[in-house]
Amino acid sequence: MTDVKGAAVAAQQKGADEQSAGAAGKPAERSESAEGRRVGAVGWRPRGSSRVRNAVLWDALRTVLDRIAPEGPSDVVDVGGGTGGFAVPLAELGHRVTVVDASPDALAALERRADEAGVTVKAVQGDAVDLPDLLGSDAADLVLCHSVLEYVDDPDAAVRALTATLRPGGSASVLVAGQVAAALHRAVAGHFDDARHVLTDPDGRWGDHDRMPRRFTRETLSALVAASGLTVGELHGVRIFADLIPGNLVDADHTAAGRGPGGERAAEALIALESAAAVHPILRELATQLHLLAHK
Ligand SMILES: C[S@@+](CC[C@H](N)C(=O)[O-])C[C@H]1O[C@@H](n2cnc3c(N)ncnc32)[C@H](O)[C@@H]1O
């Protein structure tokens, strides 16, 4: 990994940690005690801005887990799972979760987070492209690859590796940064040349100072995943409006404006709007992140 990519990963890891801090929040009403937790069908209830920003993602994960593991726990591999923002809540629900990540620091933080939550997550240091060597073929019912393909040296090889790790009938949950959203966000910030550049750059970068090595469109992501032999499933747009509106309308649990019943109502309304827009054929392609489910 180059220095630029290393810096980008560090920056993104920080962002991912901030976002997922609430994702390890309270299990929702359908889960009971640690012992009584139901697998697959249980809802999560992350807090604050994370709850709003990741609601679409968790809904999609719940649906896929309901299909894969209607009765019992499943084997989940989170490649580039970082500090466990997704892995730990999944382990709390009873799934057997393995995180493979290149960063020892991230894995140490993951282990602390898992300890605090009272769950076990297997942490394996390694590169995404080595997944079958590290875990074996046909080892997972679900592979998460969230905010990783932007950074790896060879996205094709990484997707081929995660495909090999999936069992027949298993699914992949792939989340990447959206190219179109980057143009929107640069334009809204007044950087019009950058916005134009994003749209035509093959890697979807806005310039030499852009710390993101690459972004994706629906077409480029779908082609990447299909080339590995997976069947491309539903695409969801994650954070279509949440990153365009003032933060105090999103951070329902954290800001003075968001506290109280009014803030809660606004957060619920925003989640409902994001959920409706996530599958809208035009709006979903404007999302900050594109989430693709794929099946083996
Ligand atoms: C932006 S973070 C995402 C973390 C987590 N998936 C999430 O969504 O919260 C990117 C993670 O990918 C890891 N990573 C980057 N390149 C990798 C590679 N080639 N193989 C394995 N992990 C990698 C980084 O160490 C980092 O933990």
Q: What is the pLDDT of residues 19-50, one digit of tens each?
A: 333 222 222 222 222 223 334 333 444 445 67
pLDDT at 214 over 60: yes
What is the pTM assigned to this prediction? 0.85
* Whole-number Å distance between alpha carbons of 248 and 266: 10
pLDDT at 4 over 50: no
Going by their DSSP bridges, the two strands 166-177 and 289-295 should be labelled as: antiparallel
- pLDDT (tens digit, 9 = 90+) per residue, 112-133? 999 999 999 999 999 999 999 9
CATH number of 36's domain: 3.40.50.150
pLDDT at 294 over 80: yes
Alpha helix (H) ranges present in 40-146?
A: 48-68, 87-92, 104-117, 131-135
Burial class of 83 by CB neighbour count within 10 A (0 to 12, 13 to 18, 19+):
buried
For position 53, what pLDDT does the model report?
81
Domain for residue 287, yes or no? yes
- pLDDT (tens digit, 9 = 90+) per residue, 46-66? 445 677 788 899 999 999 999
CA–centroid distance, 30 to ligand 1, in Å, is 31
Model confidence at 6, pLDDT cuts 50, 70, 90, reads very low
Domain for residue 209, yes or no? no
- pLDDT (tens digit, 9 = 90+) per residue, 237-291? 999 999 888 776 766 554 444 455 566 778 888 999 999 999 999 999 999 999 9
Domain for residue 183, yes or no? no
Domain for residue 199, yes or no? no
- pLDDT (tens digit, 9 = 90+) per residue, 153-176? 999 999 999 999 999 999 999 999
Going by their DSSP bridges, the two strands 231-238 and 289-295 should be labelled as: antiparallel
* Whole-number Å distance between alpha carbons of 60 and 8: 27
Q: Who contacts 283 (Cβ-Cβ below 8 Å, separation ≥6)?
A: 237, 240, 277
Give the number of domains in the chain: 1
For position 71, what pLDDT does the model report?
80
Domain for residue 265, yes or no? yes
pLDDT at 200 over 50: yes
Mutate to test the pocket of ligand 1, among 56, 77, 83, 101 (most ligand atoms within 8 A of CB): 101
* Whole-number Å distance between alpha carbons of 52 and 250: 7
What are 248's two structure tokens? Answer: 């105090």
Q: Which domain holds residue 44?
A: 3-178+216-295
Question: Pseudo-torsion of CA 220, 224, 226, 228, nearest 10°?
Answer: 180
Domain for residue 51, yes or no? yes
CA–centroid distance, 80 to ligand 1, in Å, is 3
Q: Which residue has the higher pLDDT, 15 or 81?
A: 81
Domain for residue 172, yes or no? yes
Ligand 1 first shell, C-beta below 6 A: 9, 12-13, 16, 20, 80-82, 85-86, 101-103, 106, 127-128, 146-148, 151-152
Domain for residue 188, yes or no? no
